[in-house]
Amino acid sequence: MFIEQVPTLLRKIYPKATWRMNPKEKAVYLTFDDGPIPVVTPWVVELLEQYNIKATFFMVGDNVHKYQQEFLQVVKAGHRIGNHTYNHLKGLYTSSEEYIKNVDQANRFIHSDLFRPPHGLLRHSQYNELCKRYKFIMWDLLTRDYNSNLCGEDIVANIKKYTRNGSIITFHDSLRSENNLRYALPRTLDWLIEQGYSFKTFE
């Protein structure tokens, strides 16, 4: 598990991955991992719509397969979609052949050139092969909204502490994160707007 902001040295493990966008531009990139699921994902989409903000959703293929309505809601709202494997696999504990097949299985439902490995870790053989087909998007700020030892106030405090120009901010539209997300996301959006940040998605 990485801390909220990954040190520069660790970012060099995957040199072709994007960890942060333009540090000279006052913009942030909101991302949501692990969905789509009923209740949580539609709430996120509706909230973002109220603010007229677009984000990127790194989706688990099995969830897309099971929850087509929620998937289509995200797509129709104009958000960017990314691949997060079919079964939320941990690359370090999965053979390279199995892992790559799992990513490609997810892409049959997701159809995206963006990829984010669950937990941010995978074998270099997996990384080298998948780099040929996908753009790796990591993060500059991990909110840890899934952590039951943190409350919503903690999440917002971390966001205020670590957000900077070009930050890729990672939330999770999952049941595990729901309570913290419902508290933190609207307050985060308000604060980011107050600070003058614009919101972007990946090309």
Number of domains in the chain: 1
Return the beta strands (E) in the chain as ranges: 27-33, 56-59, 80-83, 114-115, 135-136, 141-142, 168-172, 198-199
Question: Dihedrals φ, ψ of 76, to 5°?
Answer: -65, -25
Both structure tokens of 46: 């509706």
Q: Would you say residue 9 lies in a domain?
A: no
Report pLDDT for 2.
56
Which residue in 33, 140, 145, 173 is the catalytic one?
33
Question: Does residue 33 have an active-site annotation?
Answer: yes
Which CATH number belongs to the domain containing residue 89 in this structure? Answer: 3.20.20.370
Helices and strands in the chain, H and E counts = 8, 8
Residue 58 in any domain: the answer is yes
* Domain containing residue 152: 26-199
In a domain, 177, yes or no: yes
**Looking at the domain assignment, is residue 1 inside a domain?**
no
* Residue 31, token pair as written in the block: 């991302």
Exactly one of 34, 140, 172, 173 is catalytic; which is it? Answer: 172
Domain-embedded: residue 21: no
Q: Which amino acid is at 197?
A: Y
Q: pTM for the complete prediction?
A: 0.96
Is 172 known to be catalytic?
yes
Residues 6+ apart with CB under 8 A from 144: 4, 150, 155, 158
> Has residue 3 been placed in a domain?
no
What percent of the chain is predicted at pLDDT more than 90? 94
pLDDT tens per residue, range 9-53: 889 999 999 999 999 999 999 999 999 999 999 999 999 999 999
User: Within a domain: residue 90?
Assistant: yes
How confident is the prediction along the chain (203 residues), in pLDDT tens digits per residue? 457 988 888 899 999 999 999 999 999 999 999 999 999 999 999 999 999 999 999 999 999 999 999 999 999 999 999 999 999 999 999 999 999 999 999 999 999 999 999 999 999 999 999 999 999 999 999 999 999 999 999 999 999 999 999 999 999 999 999 999 999 999 999 999 999 999 999 98
Q: What are phi and psi of 186, to 5 degrees?
A: -65, -35
